Structures are given as structure tokens and as C-alpha cells.
């Protein structure tokens, strides 16, 4: 599991080297990727399973996260953590439920 996270972070860092932008700068400039937030309400929610690594969620079809989408979460430090989805497992019952793995990218506030 840790190896997968490190591999994903290396991919993101390589992408930074080719684009010249930090992941947080990419986050603000990236209009094609959906931006998800920890929290929500019944039927439209994402919550931590293992904080900083895995989430569970329920999203309507038109708001489902995709691999590469961004996830933000308020941290205890007061900063906003920035993560990226790298694996999503959609469930069949209920059909709007999913489990996902995310990779930490940094803090949105640090750009």
C-alpha cells in the first residue's frame, strides 16, 4: 500500500517537472478535473476511512469522482489538505457508493 502511494507521488512530481507548475497551482488551473471536498450530507458525502489514504463516499451519477480528480480536506492545523484520487472502486449496492484511495499532494494554502 505504501509503495503504491509513493509511486503515485512520484508520478505527480514527474508531472510537476514537465508542467512547471506545483500540484496546488495545477489544482487552481485545472477546470477539467472535479474538485471534491471531505464532508457533505446524506447521499452526497465523502468521509475518511483511513485519514489521508482512503475514503468512502456516496455521490450522484453526475458528481462521481474520477481518477485524477482533486480532494480537499480541512486539517486540524487550520490548513486545507490537497489530495488526488488514484483508485476508485464503485459498489453495486448501493450504486452511488464508492471506496477510493487518495494520495496526499500538499496544502492548498502553501502556494
**Domain CATH number, residue 31:** 2.40.30
Confidence of residue 110 (pLDDT cuts 50, 70, 90): confident
Tell me how many domains the chain contains: 1
**Structural domain containing residue 83:** 2-110
Single pTM value for the model: 0.69
Q: What is the pLDDT of residues 16-70, one digit of tens each?
A: 445 566 665 666 665 555 677 788 888 889 999 999 999 999 998 888 899 989 9
Residues with Cβ < 8 Å from 41, sequence gap 6 or more?
Answer: none
Taking 80 as the threshold, does the pLDDT of residue 12 lie above it? no
pLDDT greater than 60 at residue 79: yes
Amino acid at each position: 500500500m505504501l509503495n503504491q502511494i509513493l509511486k503515485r507521488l512520484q508520478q505527480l512530481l514527474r508531472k510537476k517537472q514537465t508542467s512547471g507548475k506545483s500540484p496546488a497551482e495545477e489544482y487552481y488551473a485545472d477546470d477539467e478535473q472535479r474538485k471534491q471536498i471531505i464532508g457533505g450530507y446524506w447521499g452526497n458525502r465523502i468521509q475518511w476511512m483511513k485519514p489521508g489514504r482512503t475514503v468512502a463516499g456516496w455521490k450522484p451519477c453526475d458528481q462521481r469522482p474520477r481518477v485524477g480528480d482533486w480532494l480537499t480536506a480541512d486539517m486540524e492545523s487550520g490548513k486545507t489538505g490537497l489530495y488526488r484520487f488514484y483508485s476508485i472502486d464503485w459498489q453495486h449496492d448501493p450504486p452511488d457508493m464508492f471506496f477510493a484511495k487518495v494520495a496526499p499532494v500538499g496544502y492548498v494554502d502553501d502556494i
